[in-house]
Structure 1
Amino acid sequence: MRYSANHKLETQEKLLQSSALSAKRSGFSTVGVDGLMKAIGLSGAAFYSHFSSKDALFTAIVERELGQSLERLGGQEGQDRERLERCLKHYLSMAHVEQPESGCALPALGAEIARSDIQVREQAQMWICRLQDSWAQILGSDSLAWSILSQCVGALVVARMLATPDVQRKVLESSRDEIGRQISRQP
């Protein structure tokens, strides 16, 4: 059977999308190549026609997911403080806690990125610095942008670690309140 010219690209896109969802839900290292390929209906042997290694797939996932996070959280020109505050409110929400696969990759994959090779960490650094820079331009403060970015990711990680929704909500509300105070102090 002959495949269309776009078949390889379409399959690679399915693999990236499926693997990213799986990684954000359960971790990347928990699933082998066979499991990743089975999720899209192919054998493990087909994997290597799309990526040279599982690490290469992880690098592509990090680039894709952090690029999407930048688009959602701050990549638009002319973004204002009001829009940023709405994004942060959504980021620090129970929906984001309960659905890691549809949210930012940093809280879900941060520990795995930190343990990855330099190429993955450099890729993550590039996207994180771009996000921080866009927030710094809006907020007028480089350090405040780093602080808020770190607090958002940390709050989401802590909330996901907790067992009860009531305590998770307290973590999120406390973080939203503190970030709101920090932003309101900026001119």
Structure 2
Amino acid sequence: MRYSANHKLETRERLLQSSAVSAKQSGFSTVGVDGLMKAIGLSGGAFYSHFSSKDELFAAIVERELGQSLCRLEGDQDLQKLDRCLRQYLSMAHVESAQNGCALPALGAEIARSDDSVRQLAQDWICRLQQNWALTLGSESLAWAVLSQCVGALVVARMLATPDVQRTVLKSSYDEIRKQIAEPRA
């Protein structure tokens, strides 16, 4: 059976998409190559025509996911757009749907345990995001604080068992970030 010229690219994209969802939902280290390939209807052996190792796939997932986050948040931003982003990020929908959300809260610990090349890749994308927010906020340190507060609040909310307490964490974080953003900067 002959495949189209785009077949390999399409298969790679399906593998990246499926693996990213799986990684954000259950952790990347929990599923083997055979399981990742089975999820897209292929055999484990086909994996190596796309990636030389599972670590290479993880690096591609990190780059893809953080690149998508940057695309959603970059550009000419104003505080209203940033506020919409904060409301979406610090929402129960985001807490309840890790597989469709930001990679940082879901994969941060695995990125931290990865080799230097993956950590450097993540750092490059995170710094680009921080720089974009710094332009909007007019402060490098405030951009780091907002980014860290958002990721941390989501991690804490996901750790909690009770939706009411989760909502409290999210609302408190949102309110504090809004106060910081509203304060005049020297």
Note the residue ranges of structure 1 that are not aligned, 5 or more in a row.
none
CA RMSD of aligned residues (A): 0.7
| Cα distance between partner residues in 2 of 1:84 and 1:19 | 29
The answer to whether residue 58 in structure 2 is matched with residue 49 in structure 1 is no
In structure 2, give the amino acid aligned to 1:55. D
Cα distance, 1:150 vs structure 2: 0.2
TM norm structure 1: 0.97
Report 1:22-61 matches (<5 A).
Answer: 22-61=22-61
| Cα distance between partner residues in 2 of 1:71 and 1:171 | 27
- The answer to whether the Cα contact below 8 Å between 1:66 and 1:128 also exists between their aligned partners in 2 is yes
The residue that corresponds to 1:75 in the other structure is 74
Cα distance, 1:186 vs structure 2: 3.2
Aligned residues: 185
- The answer to whether the Cα contact below 8 Å between 1:97 and 1:156 also exists between their aligned partners in 2 is yes
Residues 8-43 of structure 1 deviation map (CA, whole Å, 9 limit, x = unaligned) = 111000000000000011110000000000000001
| Cα distance between partner residues in 2 of 1:94 and 1:179 | 17
The residue that corresponds to 1:170 in the other structure is 168
Cα distance, 1:156 vs structure 2: 0.1
Aligned partner (choices 125, 135, 138) of residue 137 of structure 1: 135
| Cα distance between partner residues in 2 of 1:135 and 1:106 | 16
Report 1:52-131 matches (<5 A).
Answer: 52-72=52-72, 74-76=73-75, 78-131=76-129
Cα distance, 1:71 vs structure 2: 1.4
The residue that corresponds to 1:160 in the other structure is 158
| Cα distance between partner residues in 2 of 1:131 and 1:8 | 31
**Helix, strand or coil: the match of 2:41?**
coil
- The answer to whether the Cα contact below 8 Å between 1:139 and 1:186 also exists between their aligned partners in 2 is no
TM norm structure 2: 0.98
Note the residue ranges of structure 2 that are not aligned, 5 or more in a row.
none
Residues 22-71 of structure 1 deviation map (CA, whole Å, 9 limit, x = unaligned) = 00111100000000000000010110010000000000000000011111
| Cα distance between partner residues in 1 of 2:134 and 2:2 | 51
| Cα distance between partner residues in 1 of 2:68 and 2:86 | 15
